[in-house]
Amino acid sequence: MEHVYFDHNATTPVAPEARDAAAVCLGQVYGNASSIHHFGQAAKQKLEAARRQIAALIHAGPSEIVFTGGGTEADNMAVLGVARATGKGHIITSTIEHPAVLGPCAQLEREGFAVTRVRVGASGVVNPDDVRAALRPETVLVSVMHANNEIGTVQPIAEIARITREAGVPLHVDGVQALGKIPVDVDALGVDLYSVSAHKLYAPKGVGVLYIRKGTRLAPTDFGGHHERGHRPGTENVPGAAAFGAAAELAANTMFVESERQAALRDRLEKAVLNRISGTGVNGSCWNRTPNTSNIYFDGVDGEALVIALDLRGFAVSTGAACSSGAVTPSHVLTAIGLSDDRARASMRFSLGRLNTAAQVDALADALEASVAHLRRISVHA
């Protein structure tokens, strides 16, 4: 049985272009990018080429790109680094952030910082006026994600940035789920820090980037070397960076066409589900979201059971964030937008990618109809 993948927000398959870029480095460019000899300088050239490719995708300067071990590390580096560079103060974030932002915010609370978590309504969109209202004289950082990993909602980052710029407060944005799906221009957005991850962009796991606008103060969170201009010690993952660079260039060339195609497939899936299966609905805003993401509730169905039922039929989907899989509590994102615990647990995330087709979407809709009917039937008899 062929298995079909509808969980691209968790991770993506590695694109051939990214795989080939990594393979060249693994096989031929094995020097340490910090070494001054021929082999080291060959690695350095690959690293800097990748830095330029990623900078071009987000309209940044190459010197503002810092390689990390992934999106989570980039988020931690930004939140902890800015806060600790200023001493004690106040931080603003939202209730629907990824744990990679909520976690360091909670740690800073333990260190004596105050944290305001701005609420969102049923749309799953942060109101910029709520950010403005939360500002204090001692606010040292605002961190709001660009696109939500579970429901796909896109936040009004440019409007929030105007407010933070006016107040003289740095703005960090977790852009892990936005990169490659919607245009990202860090200069036009007005952000000071922007986190991204390779494995959400058809490149390997274990490499990410933090964009740091020139002049942004950041205390180091790790120690042991002067790599990446002192921001991230440790020998750089050159094969991973090269693959990320190749994937970034691919995204720059294909994003607009792919986004339109995936949005049409997502809409096709939602229409089929809502028309054919009772007790269903789309969570969050249907309009202001990434083109590949749909989060749908199926009343009377346990989400984990539906994931298993669909997997047995050959479809990979998820109940929400992969980082939280196995959690017994319902999604904090879905409860934050007003869903009951039961409805949150009955919700599924479908995230499409480059290889998905209309035929696969139609087959998924058929499998959903059959699986939901079966699960509802056995729950009645249980």
Task: Count other Cβ atoms within 10 Å, centred on residue 335.
Answer: 16
Would you state the structure tokens that stand for residue 43, as one six-digit string? 């690695």
Contact 74, 197 (CB under 8 A): yes
Burial class (CB in 10 A: 0-12, 13-18, 19+), 286: middle
Which residue of the set 25, 105, 286, 323 is catalytic? 323
Among candidate residues 122, 130, 119, the one with its CA nearest the CA of residue 94: 119
Place of tokens 């792919």: 258
CA-based torsion, 162, 164, 170, 175: positive or negative = negative
Alpha helices in the chain, H assignment, sequence order: 16-27, 38-58, 71-86, 99-110, 128-134, 157-167, 186-189, 238-276, 303-312, 332-336, 341-345, 358-381
148 membership: H or E segment, kind and range: none
Q: Is 278 exposed, middle or buried (0-12, 13-18, 19+ CB in 10 A)?
A: exposed
Q: Cα 61 vs. chain centroid, distance in angstroms?
A: 22
Tokens of 277: 């299966």
Say what the alpha-carbon torsion angle 297, 303, 309, 312 is, to the nearest 10 degrees: 110
Q: What angle do CA 79, 188, 207 make, to 5 degrees?
A: 45
Residues 6+ positions from 233 with CB-CB distance below 8 Å: 220, 222, 223, 224, 225, 226, 227
Q: How far apart are CA 239 and CA 47, in angstroms?
A: 8
Please give the radius of gyration of the chain, using alpha carbons only, rounded to the nearest integer: 21
Q: Is 25 a catalytic residue?
A: no
Residue 62: strand, helix, or coil: helix
Residues that are catalytic: 323
